[in-house]
Amino acid sequence: MKPLRVVITGSESTGKTTLAAELAEHYGTVWCPEFSRQYALCKNNLDASDVEAIASGQIASEDAHASRGKRVIIQDTDLVSTVVYARHYYETCPRWIADASKTRRADLYLLMDIDVPWIPDPARDRGHMRKEMHLLFVTALVELRSPFVVISGNWEERRKRAVKAIDEALKRYATK
């Protein structure tokens, strides 16, 4: 049986990377880092021509990490984020990326809420649009008919909610 694929998703500065690393440690598995963050830090000014490179890099990273997972694989974002940000910044997303976000859809999404302080860094620029960005992620997940759980609260509550959601998904996944 292939591993349950769990994606931590949502707008910037919500703790996705931290939670992904902690969940991977909790479940004794690998986690796939967000490709676009490193890409953006290296390039500085992104434009629409970068969307396909980001998507291709994300896919390659996911595929490389998937072969190392056992019962569960944790991902710090996936192509859903690429689609959301491409549409937000450039008002369009290449069709193949939107299609791939459907065919590569995760088994479970943990949607990080925006109820934590926004922390600026060089790869972030949407602190003033947190509500709008969060709603774009909710809309994308609903449109994809993707199973998701909103993860909110303080850090300990977030971790507990995430573990509970994954444990429940693992039980359902095992009976398939």
- The structural domains of the chain, with segments of one domain joined by +, span 4-174
Q: At residue 86, does pLDDT exceed 80?
A: yes
Q: Are strands 31-32 and 4-9 parallel, antiparallel or unpaired?
A: unpaired
The pLDDT value given to residue 129: 79
- Give the separation between CA 108 and CA 148, rounded to whole angstroms: 6
Across 41-45, 64-68, 160-164, the highest mean pLDDT is recorded for 160-164
Half-sphere exposure of 57 (CA within 13 A, CB side): 15
The reported pTM is 0.94
pLDDT over 90 for what percent of the chain?
77
The pLDDT value given to residue 124: 65
The topology under which CATH files domain 4-174 is Rossmann fold (3.40.50)
